[in-house]
């Protein structure tokens, strides 16, 4: 999930629905970041800001928060032969009275070396607290067995660091005792009810004494999954009233047991309540007001017995409290030499306690703290910056700025604005902003709907007009189609006529060619006729000459030659007639020749005209074919458009 550290103790899993409940219970304004992931709102944990208080686990109904501890690594190292001993939280016996012995026996079989109850470390812590307070007059100190409280002070109220009790927690006191006084070299694993103990274990101020934080929840899940069980065993070192440290007011009761109830111990439990108290307590300390003997502060409302690392099923009943009450009763049954015996006065018990730990050096158990607030400051916006954020949230009036519906997870609109200013939330996570925007969008949608209705009416009117136009266009297309068909038919007829004309023209050209040939033949005959006429004329002239000679001879013959003279005269007439006929024939031949010449010229001109007409007819036929093809194409397009118009009208 984006923007989420992979090594954070507490992290958001895939179940998150962005309901903001985790924000509402978290004591740190900036520990939860509202982000948009795949168009869904998610609330992810900022591992640097989170103090691992676990409040979000209780609040989230969607099981959207998970945590990390060292359980897997612990079992893996055991399997690999690491020498590991256990520090056992006193709440383990209270939560698992029936499984306690067999689980510890199973861990022994897996290679665990020694098992030491942190209850003994709690006794050391009680001794150390009272000793340090009385010797240094350190009243008003804040107890620090709870690592979530320590982490909150170090990060967000560094002014209270000097008021944190400078004595280690029961866990670390037990670890120091095991390492320094028992000289145990094993790695130490804490069987823990608390997620946040991991931050204490890893804190450089805690010396690296403990290697593993193994929470009850993950331990028992692993134990059941792998069937871990063995012959029952118990922890090894006797302890006293430190066994009730896990219960609310457990530290206070220990101090009362040794110091009497005259001292005032301020008891605080619960995630939100504890941190609100610390904020107020800072003012009390800084203003020099009266302080209690000490502050017994726990993060969890029901104490460590129902810590953040305990199985949820255990938190649902009070069975663990009753079991712890029995352990408490047993711790007070010791004889008069027992530091926790109910038969002694507080002063006697304290004397016994100091005697019990007389060999311990208090300096071995002194704890230091580090100011971790740098870079984690929660910034306050100026008035102008706050107004700018309200402007972005569309909060114009004082009423809008103080709706304080808490739907965003913050108690007030001002806290939401502060979260936005610190970049851990955004305006879209404000339900009032979203609501106002939705109302505006609804109003806009209504206006748009009205506009759309008006436009729809206009469109309907236009559609009706379009329908009419479509009908008219369809009719026009039908007319066009008919015209095209007629044109096509006429064009086809023209093509046929053009083809016929072309054929007839070819016949005319053939006739002209024949006529030209015939005229040529006639012209040839006329030439022969001229030759014949010349010959006739020559014969006539010779005949005429003979007739003349005959007349002369007839005249010489006298009467006897008269008949011959008549014949000669007739021959002469015949010759003259032949000559005249030949002359007339020549004259006619010239006229015929001229007529034939004109006829030939006209025939040639006719052929040229016919060639031109034939070419034009041929072109007309080709154009007619193109027109026919175009007409077919136009007809197809017209039919297609007509079909589409009919579909559009439908």
Residue whose C-alpha is closest to residue 486's, from 627, 645, 644: 627
> Is residue 576 domain-resident?
yes
Residue 201 and residue 344 share a domain: yes
Residue 477 and residue 356 share a domain: no
Residue 146 belongs to domain spanning: 70-365
Q: Which of the given ranges, 320-334, 381-395, 504-518, has the highest pLDDT on average?
A: 381-395
Q: What percent of the chain has pLDDT over 70?
A: 78
Decide: 236 and 119 in contact? Cβ < 8 Å: no
DSSP character at residue 143:
P
Residue 518: predicted pLDDT: 65
In whole angstroms, what is the distance from residue 368 CA to residue 67 CA?
27
Q: How much is the average pLDDT of 144-167?
A: 96
Residue 249 and residue 120 share a domain: yes
> Is residue 504 domain-resident?
yes
* Higher per-residue confidence, 323 vs 584: 323
* Higher per-residue confidence, 189 vs 530: 189
> Is residue 463 domain-resident?
no
Residue 502: predicted pLDDT: 66
**Among 15-29, 314-328, 579-593, which is the least confidently predicted range?**
579-593
> Is residue 42 domain-resident?
no
Residue 106 and residue 233 share a domain: yes
Q: How many domains does the chain have?
A: 2
> Is residue 63 domain-resident?
no
* Higher per-residue confidence, 226 vs 597: 226
**Among 223-232, 243-252, 292-301, which is the least confidently predicted range?**
243-252
Dihedral over alpha carbons 161, 167, 173, 176 (to 10 degrees): 90
Residue 304: predicted pLDDT: 86
Judged by phi (left if over 0) then psi (alpha if -120 to 50, else beta), residue 348 lies in alpha
Residue whose C-alpha is closest to residue 246's, from 305, 318, 193: 305
User: In whole angstroms, how far apart are CA 526 and each of 310, 516, 519, 586?
Assistant: 147, 15, 10, 9
Decide: 268 and 277 in contact? Cβ < 8 Å: yes
Confidence of residue 342 (pLDDT cuts 50, 70, 90): confident
Residue 519: predicted pLDDT: 63
In whole angstroms, what is the distance from residue 246 CA to residue 240 CA?
13
Dihedral over alpha carbons 152, 153, 154, 158 (to 10 degrees): 140
pLDDT at 564 > cutoff 60: no
Give residue-wise pLDDT tens across range 234-259: 988 888 777 788 788 888 988 988 89
Within a 10 A sphere around the Cβ of 568, how many other Cβ atoms? 23
Confidence of residue 4 (pLDDT cuts 50, 70, 90): confident
Residue 355 and residue 479 share a domain: no
In whole angstroms, what is the distance from residue 456 CA to residue 460 CA?
6
In whole angstroms, what is the distance from residue 439 CA to residue 590 CA?
119
pLDDT at 371 > cutoff 70: yes
Residue 357 and residue 485 share a domain: no
Beta pairing partners, 85: 188
Give residue-wise pLDDT tens across range 28-46: 999 999 998 777 889 999 9
Indicate the pairing of strand 10-12 with strand 65-67: antiparallel
Confidence of residue 466 (pLDDT cuts 50, 70, 90): low
Confidence of residue 454 (pLDDT cuts 50, 70, 90): confident
User: In whole angstroms, how far apart are CA 41 and each of 14, 37, 439, 509, 634?
Assistant: 12, 6, 21, 98, 62
For the record, the structure tokens of 302 come out as 């029901």
Confidence of residue 529 (pLDDT cuts 50, 70, 90): low
> Is residue 435 domain-resident?
no
pLDDT at 533 > cutoff 80: no
The contacts found for 160-163 with CB under 8 angstroms, 24 or more apart, are: 160/278, 160/281, 160/282, 160/285, 161/369, 161/371, 163/281, 163/285
> Is residue 316 domain-resident?
yes
**Among 17-26, 224-233, 274-283, 440-449, which is the least confidently predicted range?**
440-449
Residue 477 and residue 359 share a domain: no
Give residue-wise pLDDT tens across range 58-95: 999 999 999 999 999 999 999 999 999 999 998 998 89
Please give the mean pLDDT across all residues of the chain: 84
Residue 514: predicted pLDDT: 73
For the record, the structure tokens of 26 come out as 């978290």
pLDDT at 228 > cutoff 70: yes
In whole angstroms, what is the distance from residue 496 CA to residue 59 CA?
98
pLDDT at 361 > cutoff 90: yes
Last residue of a domain, one of 365, 381, 400: 365
In whole angstroms, what is the distance from residue 511 CA to residue 606 CA?
11
Decide: 210 and 223 in contact? Cβ < 8 Å: no
DSSP character at residue 180:
I
Last residue of a domain, one of 311, 334, 365: 365
Q: How much is the average pLDDT of 193-207?
A: 96
Residue 482 and residue 335 share a domain: no
**Among 230-234, 252-256, 386-390, 554-558, which is the least confidently predicted range?**
554-558
Last residue of a domain, one of 345, 365, 385: 365
Residue-wise over 22-51: b if at least 16 C-beta within 10 A, else e?
bbbbbbbbbbbbbbeeeeebbbbbbbebbb
> Is residue 425 domain-resident?
no
Residue 573: predicted pLDDT: 78
Q: How much is the average pLDDT of 459-479?
A: 65
pLDDT at 321 > cutoff 80: no
Grouping H, G, I as helix, E, B as strand and the rest as coil, residue 411 is coil
543: domain CATH number is 1.10.287.950
In whole angstroms, what is the distance from residue 154 CA to residue 373 CA?
6
pTM: 0.69
């Amino acid at each position: 999930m984006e923007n989420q550290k992979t090594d954070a103790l507490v992290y958001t899993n895939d179940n998150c629905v962005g309901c903001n409940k985790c924000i509402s219970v978290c004591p740190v304004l900036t520990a939860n970041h509202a982000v948009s992931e795949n168009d869904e709102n998610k609330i992810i944990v900022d591992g640097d800001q989170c103090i691992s208080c676990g409040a979000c686990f209780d609040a989230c109904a969607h099981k959207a928060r998970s945590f990390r501890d060292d359980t897997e690594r612990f079992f893996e190292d055991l399997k690999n032969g690491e020498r590991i001993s256990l520090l056992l939280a006193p709440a383990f016996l209270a939560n698992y009275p029936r499984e306690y012995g067999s689980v510890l026996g199973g861990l022994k079989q897996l290679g665990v070396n020694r098992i030491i109850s942190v209850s003994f470390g709690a006794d050391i812590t009680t001794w150390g607290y009272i000793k340090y307070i009385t010797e240094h007059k350190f009243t008003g100190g804040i107890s620090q067995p709870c690592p979530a409280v320590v982490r909150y002070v170090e990060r967000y109220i560094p002014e209270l660091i000097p008021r944190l009790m400078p004595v280690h927690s029961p866990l670390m006191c037990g670890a120091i005792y095991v390492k320094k006084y028992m000289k145990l070299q094993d790695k130490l694993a804490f069987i823990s009810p608390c997620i946040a103990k991991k931050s204490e274990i890893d804190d450089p101020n805690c010396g690296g004494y403990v290697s593993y934080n193994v929470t009850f929840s993950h331990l028992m899940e692993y134990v059941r999954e792998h069937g871990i069980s063995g012959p029952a065993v118990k922890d090894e070192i006797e302890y006293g009233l430190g066994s009730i440290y896990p219960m609310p007011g457990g530290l206070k009761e220990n101090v009362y047991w040794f110091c009497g109830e005259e001292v005032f111990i301020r008891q605080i439990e619960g995630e939100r309540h504890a941190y609100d108290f610390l904020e107020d307590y800072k003012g009390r300390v800084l203003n020099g007001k009266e302080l209690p003997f000490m502050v017994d502060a726990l993060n969890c409302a029901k104490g460590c017995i129902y810590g953040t690392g305990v199985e949820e099923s255990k938190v649902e009943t009070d069975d663990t409290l009753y079991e712890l009450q029995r352990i408490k009763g047993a711790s007070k049954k010791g004889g008069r030499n027992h530091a926790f015996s109910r038969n002694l006065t507080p002063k006697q018990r304290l004397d016994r306690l100091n005697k019990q730990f007389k060999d311990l050096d208090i300096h071995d158990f002194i704890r230091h703290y580090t100011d971790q607030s740098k870079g984690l400051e929660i910034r306050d916006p100026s008035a102008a910056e706050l107004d700018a954020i309200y402007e972005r949230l569309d909060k114009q009036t004082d009423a809008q700025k103080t709706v304080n519906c808490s739907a965003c997870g913050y108690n007030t609109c001002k806290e939401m604005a502060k979260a936005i200013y610190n970049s851990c939330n955004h305006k879209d996570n404000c339900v009032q902003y979203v609501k106002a925007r939705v109302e505006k969008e609804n109003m806009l949608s209504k206006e748009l709907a009205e506009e759309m209705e008006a436009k729809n009416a206009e469109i309907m009117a236009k559609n009706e007009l379009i329908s009419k136009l479509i009908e008219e266009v369809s009719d026009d297309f039908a007319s066009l189609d008919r015209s095209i068909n007629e044109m096509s038919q006429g064009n086809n007829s023209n093509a046929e006529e053009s083809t016929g004309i072309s054929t007839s023209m070819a016949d005319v050209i053939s006739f002209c060619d024949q006529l030209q040939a015939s005229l040529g033949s006639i012209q040839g005959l006329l030439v022969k006729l001229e030759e014949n006429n010349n010959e006739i004329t020559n014969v006539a002239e010779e005949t005429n000459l003979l007739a003349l000679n005959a007349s002369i001879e007839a005249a010489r013959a006298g009467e006897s030659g008269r008949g011959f003279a008549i014949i000669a005269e007739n021959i002469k007439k015949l010759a003259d007639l032949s000559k005249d006929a030949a002359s007339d024939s020549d004259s006619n031949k010239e006229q015929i020749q001229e007529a034939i010449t004109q006829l030939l010229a006209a025939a040639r001109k006719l052929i040229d005209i016919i060639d031109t007409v034939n070419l034009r007819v041929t072109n007309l036929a080709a154009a007619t074919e193109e027109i026919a093809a175009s007409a077919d194409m136009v007809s197809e397009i017209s039919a297609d458009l007509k079909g589409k118009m009919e579909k559009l009208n439908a």
